[in-house]
Structure 1
């Protein structure tokens, strides 16, 4: 009996019922229905109407002149009057459509706002608030429900919408906890991202304003350095699946190596299996390596010896372009410039590419593991790759993304992926790429 007064259940069906119309009541008593509260508080009604207008472009009018208090869509275009009202005002309200005759999305949105913001019960339980809504409205509803319910109201929401969750993350003045529920043969499991961890996401623009949060609704996430990387791996992994059941993976870019490990850590806090894919020059930055190991539970001392072997080999044996050769090539690019002549865009681009390709690591990125020769240096790198794979970081053995399809020239990186897709190379992945995918999938499956 008491629960009825403390907890409001907002299921999908409940929201489609007529929850907005209310009986007139004795004004000497406090309002007992959310619509009665809007009737008694014109400011509350105006705020409520403005929220709906932001979502659908239409205000909500409150008809005070029928046997029931009724919410209607639109603006009567006239000021309210003290009864008995004029024929013109009555006809103005009669022309406005009733809320309970609107589409499912409109009714669901308005009823949720009504029962959450206008004298809500202490606890509100909402099932799939995104139902019937377009993504922008689901996102806006998430922000409203996180920002606006008055204290001490607490809202529990079950959702499958990344847009709705993104809207929640846009709210900054209320503590929010995220609970991810996953299913396995042993039964459902729940992982909680506490409010302080959610607050850290809010303070990280690259996470807050990205599609990373969609990983909550997949069985696994593969993080890549760029959008192009993710498109290539998503396409080739699908090809290699050969019609087998979808593994429900999502491939998400982080905008560079520096953000890979921290993004993976935050997603893993939610119980999401995460694998990271990075080019081989990930091993060219000790600071980056240490941050990644710290974020993902690795131990730098376990790899320090092998890393030093790699560094010594790169510094002493990998062929680099000599300074005279670089000078000669730059002179060729410049040609015979006249006094005052500035570099063309093409010349700047060619010189930049030349300087980038002259270092030892550029050679390793181009050739992959074979650039290291054989013997102990090669064995040390294989151990490094195995170690990082054990914590979910998969380094590309062919050096870089473009190394998977060497038939397509990598000089124009922006056009490389387009050419790969146009020529159908993603439909014919190499056995080496198949092995790489298998390792990623095995790791993700073991993390569930």
Structure 2
């Protein structure tokens, strides 16, 4: 919907909008306007349109219009104050819209026309050897095949893919004809291949200033989605272009980001009547991508989920993810649906994933062993990551006091039962601290560590704990030894994490 509103605003002006507040366009200098009028002037009048004083005919590709010269200049000099005229007489001629159905048809044959004045996309590409070779190199990298443009059939241009580079496509000599006979027409390849080819061909052969692309990853293998994201972003960066893309593909997003082009990510959500819009700026993204942990954990995939859970280690992640899947399978409203489970490299790096994703409005819960309270852990950065209200002096003192109680008399809270080691006021103080952290999505294990969940299963608590616990849990829901969710222990804990993720009034998401 927001892409449609951008397209309507850019082509028609100030129309009715539901999501989009508005667009602002760059002002043009007098010299730029002179150059535009010189390049666009078309002395061939529009059919049925008579020449009017102080007007001129403009043409960009197949787009033609007649404009009042003074009004045209005003609209380009100050587009925001003359938005309707600017959109209808300038921006509309620079816009490219690619939705799902149109992408498949981009590779259909096109009329060759007059190659001295090429009008169609194919004709412009056929007469531009450098652009055609650049596109061919990209497509060969993607498919291992060579694109060729066939002019041997009537007055049309057809696309073909062959195993070798085509001879001179602008001729009908014998080697060219032989290559065309052996190459397969593009319509005999997959929809993904046709969509990928068509989008890049249109972007490379044309010169759109505003490109609007809806779900470009449709029909594409993840590897191709990554390459398409990279190529679209790079093409956009080569000139005065703006690209608006809606996507649900983390591969496409990573390709765009790693292209080196300037990319802003806007995360739109709409759930139960509540809408949000959060932006992760290009500068913020670059900071994230400089962090190897975030790249290796594929943390940006979190933008496509309703919630994220971050654990200290991969074994923890696998365990909690499996339990959540079993809760969801019960179809009783338990568990966290559409939730991504990620792991950091130890508790001191959890904040590097939690903080940036929460800045996008994503409910990211962190699960840590009880030694997160240890003074050796960088507790302040965790508090910053979960947006715990400042100043932190009070909760830091509470954390120090609880940890001191836990380790008194040489007790080992992580391996010997967590707050079960405490009694009376000391235990109440610890519970109060954990309750407050839970409210902000920082779930510290009161029982010590992940290995101590499900004590009723006879599982050795060793380095092979994950393999042992998975074997004990069983893998066939119909088998007698399969462990279904209960109402206590770790099942109640995962429910508590899920409740925080699903709670729209949750604390810890920055405004």
Give the TM interval when normalised to the shorter protein.
0.7 to 0.9
- 2:428 — aligned with what? 379
Give the C-alpha shift of residue 429 in structure 1: 5.2
- Whether the 8 Å contact between 2:112 and 2:157 is mirrored in structure 1 is yes
For residue 53 of structure 1, the aligned residue among 117, 140, 147 is 140
- 1:297 — aligned with what? 387
Query: In 2 relative to 1, CA 400–139 (structure 1 residues): closer, same or farther, beyond 3 Å?
Result: same
Give the C-alpha shift of residue 307 in structure 1: 2.0
Q: Distance in 2 between matches of 1:317 and 1:445?
A: 41
- Whether the 8 Å contact between 2:348 and 2:377 is mirrored in structure 1 is no
Q: Distance in 2 between matches of 1:410 and 1:284?
A: 26
Give the C-alpha shift of residue 76 in structure 1: 5.5
Matched, 1:151 2:239: yes
- Whether the 8 Å contact between 1:175 and 1:195 is mirrored in structure 2 is yes
Report the 3-state secondary structure (helix = DSSP H, G, I; strand = E; otherwise coil) of the residue aligned with 1:148.
helix
Report the 3-state secondary structure (helix = DSSP H, G, I; strand = E; otherwise coil) of the residue aligned with 2:341.
strand
- Whether the 8 Å contact between 1:142 and 1:164 is mirrored in structure 2 is yes
- 1:441 — aligned with what? 498
Higher mean displacement: 245-254 or 223-232: 245-254
- Whether the 8 Å contact between 1:219 and 1:247 is mirrored in structure 2 is yes
Matched, 1:394 2:443: yes
Unmatched 5+ stretches in structure 1: 320-362
Q: Distance in 1 between matches of 2:235 and 2:169?
A: 30
Q: How many residue pairs are counted as aligned between the two chains?
A: 401
- Whether the 8 Å contact between 1:408 and 1:416 is mirrored in structure 2 is no
Quick check: which one's helix share is greater?
A: 1
- 1:163 — aligned with what? 251
Q: Distance in 2 between matches of 1:405 and 1:14?
A: 54
Q: Distance in 2 between matches of 1:442 and 1:78?
A: 60
1:371-397 Cα shifts (integer Å, max 9, x gaps): 532133322222221222122110111
* Superposition map of 1:159-308 within 5 A: 159-172=247-260, 174-241=261-328, 242-245=330-333, 247-285=337-375, 288-298=378-388, 299=390, 300-308=392-400
Unmatched 5+ stretches in structure 2: 1-87, 475-482, 506-511
Matched, 1:318 2:410: yes
Higher relative contact order (CA 8 A, sep 6+): 1
Give the C-alpha shift of residue 46 in structure 1: 1.6
Report the 3-state secondary structure (helix = DSSP H, G, I; strand = E; otherwise coil) of the residue aligned with 2:315.
helix
Q: Distance in 2 between matches of 1:102 and 1:188?
A: 40
- 1:354 — aligned with what? none
Q: Distance in 1 between matches of 2:415 and 2:223?
A: 43
1:276-297 Cα shifts (integer Å, max 9, x gaps): 1111111113551011112222
Give the C-alpha shift of residue 48 in structure 1: 0.7
Give the C-alpha shift of residue 160 in structure 1: 1.3
Give the C-alpha shift of residue 404 in structure 1: 0.3
Q: Distance in 2 between matches of 1:162 and 1:133?
A: 13
- Per the normalisation by structure 1, the TM-score is 0.82
Query: In 2 relative to 1, CA 226–213 (structure 1 residues): closer, same or farther, beyond 3 Å?
Result: same
- Whether the 8 Å contact between 1:183 and 1:189 is mirrored in structure 2 is yes
Give the C-alpha shift of residue 62 in structure 1: 2.2
RMSD of Structure 2 on Structure 1 (CA): 2.4
Query: In 2 relative to 1, CA 45–84 (structure 1 residues): closer, same or farther, beyond 3 Å?
Result: closer
Report the 3-state secondary structure (helix = DSSP H, G, I; strand = E; otherwise coil) of the residue aligned with 1:190.
strand
Query: In 2 relative to 1, CA 205–447 (structure 1 residues): closer, same or farther, beyond 3 Å?
Result: farther
Report the 3-state secondary structure (helix = DSSP H, G, I; strand = E; otherwise coil) of the residue aligned with 1:240.
helix
